[in-house]
Amino acid sequence: MNSDLNVVNDFKIERHDWHDPLVEACCNFVKFKDDLDLSNRTSSVHPFLVRKLRWLLGYYEPSEKMIKHRRPCRKATATYPSHFMHFALPFLCNRSAEMGEYEKRFIHPQLVVSGSYRNYNHGHFGGYADNRPDEVMDWSDKVVEECEIEICDPQYLCPGGLPLYVALEGKNRVDLFKRHRSAMLAWVAPSVSVPAESLKLIRLKPFNVWAICHDGRIFVLPFTDPALPVYKALNVAVAKPKWDFFALIKLRNARISAVSFQMSS
């Protein structure tokens, strides 16, 4: 991976080669998550049969799922980033992984897995607040710059070996930076990942479902298109295919697990 850290005014600035396969794969992964949240929020515009198909495939469909007293479950907002990453990139992103110390960094918002769903200028008492995007972003950077302890927002995790950040808050502020700026100031803590050389990709036949294996444990990749390029860019070895006639059921269950934790509105 072609990345390096420079230090300017006590802030680390991470620079990436955007043509590097791993950086490109992570950028596409972030875009996929944003698009997935949007499709979940707007699924109500689809005909009944389309929504039923989405539900059968494991995507979030509150109209098809009931909870206590036969009431629909929470409407789609955005999947909580750390929860999503735990299931979408098994062994690379683990919610219970050991974390390092937080430090201030300038990071690229295009590499941040976030959970944007609110309008940034919506007022607390209805209507819209009179805040321009620049004001919100400047305020966010200033909060980090002036804070000298590690409990300040916004906070992010950086899984080991990946040019990727997982937002722990700042749901709508991240979206602003993605649309308007190429860098944002944040508290970043590294987290431990399983070494890529100890992982193996496995294709489950006959349905061509991909899974990742480590130390005898196998997890199906719920979203192959964005996840597989990340593992391949890390040079994860590909093991011999295995037969698994329940792979499609496992795929659906993995997707349900990945998108089930919707953020509160």
CB atoms within 10 A of CB 71: 8
What are the residue boundaries of the structural domains of the chain, listed by start? 3-36+81-191, 42-70, 196-259
pLDDT digits (tens, 9 = 90+) for 172-218: 778 888 888 888 988 899 999 999 999 999 999 999 999 999 999 99
- 8-state DSSP, 126: S
SS3 for 151-172 is CCCCEEEEECCCCCEEECCCHH
Q: How far is CA 151 from the centre of its chain?
A: 22
The kind and range of the H/E element at 145 are helix 133-146
pLDDT digits (tens, 9 = 90+) for 133-158: 788 788 888 888 888 766 677 789 99
* pTM for this entry: 0.86
The Cα–Cα gap between 61 and 54 comes to: 7
DSSP for 15-57, please give it. Answer: EE-TTSHHHHHHHHHHHHHHHHHHHHHTGGGS-HHHHHHHHHT
